Amino acid sequence: MTALFNFQSLLLVILLLICTSSYAHYVFPGIMDRNKDGVFGIFWKAARIGERLSPYVSICCVLMAISIFMGQ
């Protein structure tokens, strides 16, 4: 089953996108800030979400890890 049809997998993909984009913006801020529009703007927006809501994103990551661990 793909991540589009499984809600837990979709949430995991979104969390990984937010965390990866935040880290990439921290390491390469110039590249991320140049691409605010278009397709690459999604990564810039995800980086902003990760920076501004970092406590909530980290709590969601921990909860997702626990739910995946308990499911296996």
- pLDDT tens by residue, 9-68: 888 889 999 999 999 989 988 888 887 888 888 999 999 998 898 888 888 888 888 888
Task: Name all contacts of 15-20 with Cβ < 8 Å and 24+ positions apart.
Answer: 15/57, 15/60, 15/61, 15/64, 17/43, 17/46, 18/46, 18/47, 18/49, 18/50, 18/57, 19/50, 19/57, 19/61
pTM (predicted TM-score): 0.80
Task: Round the CA-based radius of gyration of the chain to a whole number and report it.
Answer: 14
The answer to whether the beta carbons of residues 53 and 30 sit under 8 Å apart is: no
Which residue did the predictor score with more confidence, 5 or 3? 5
pLDDT reported for residue 72: 60
Asked whether the predicted pLDDT for residue 7 surpasses 60, the reply is yes
DSSP state of 4: T
pLDDT score recorded for residue 67: 86
